[in-house]
Amino acid sequence: MLRVGHYGVAMLAYAPVVFVLLESGHPGFAGLGLPLLFVMSRLPDVDRRLPFVRHRGPTHTVWFATLTGAPVAFASVTKSGHLILDVPNAFGIGIPVLGVLSHLIADSLTPAGIRPFWPFSSRLVSFHLVRAANSVANYGLFLLGVLGLCIACLAGVNYPGNP
């Protein structure tokens, strides 16, 4: 997928989160999340600049996605060993993971696909829907993402529980 397609899938994945954040009275987090999500949705393609790392290899796995949320998760553990999962910590853990997972979803739409459970499984996940360079598909995903976010924002702000 092209950058714009990755952004579209990221917005679609983020739309339900935006709704929940707005509905629960956290509009600042809802706004802050989108630029962070865009950065994280591009992170798996860092493999293109790393020597000895093949494209759509280790950085295109669920393990890598999990690893991106680990620093905040570790920082959120108290001295007694309890995880504090308040909104800021959940946000700090969830946005990186969601960004990378959205990238994996977008790449799985292409014939090249991904191997999300490598090295434990070499099974290719590919829906063979569109080629990665298909501009119509990429911009279509972007527009769907914008539409999804608009609906989530309108629904979250107008939710009956909000003042």
Tens digit of pLDDT at every position of the chain (163 positions): 999 999 999 999 999 999 999 999 999 999 999 999 999 999 999 999 999 999 999 999 999 999 999 998 888 887 777 788 788 888 899 999 999 999 999 999 999 999 999 999 999 999 999 999 999 999 999 999 999 999 999 998 887 766 5
* Whole-number pLDDT of residue 73: 86
Look at residue 88 and give its three-state secondary structure. helix
Angle between helices 3-23 and 27-42 (to 10 degrees): 160
Q: Is the pTM of this model over 0.85?
A: yes
User: Rounded CA gap, 162 and 36, in Å?
Assistant: 25
* Whole-number pLDDT of residue 102: 98
* Whole-number pLDDT of residue 82: 79
Instruction: Indicate the DSSP class of residue 83.
Output: B
* Whole-number pLDDT of residue 163: 57
Residue 47 is encoded by which pair of tokens? 């493999």
For residue 162, the tally of other CB atoms under 10 A from its CB is 12
Residue 76 is encoded by which pair of tokens? 């959120």
User: Rounded CA gap, 54 and 74, in Å?
Assistant: 29
Give the number of residues written for the chain. Answer: 163
φ, ψ of residue 125 to 5 degrees: the values are -110, 115
φ, ψ of residue 48 to 5 degrees: the values are -70, -20
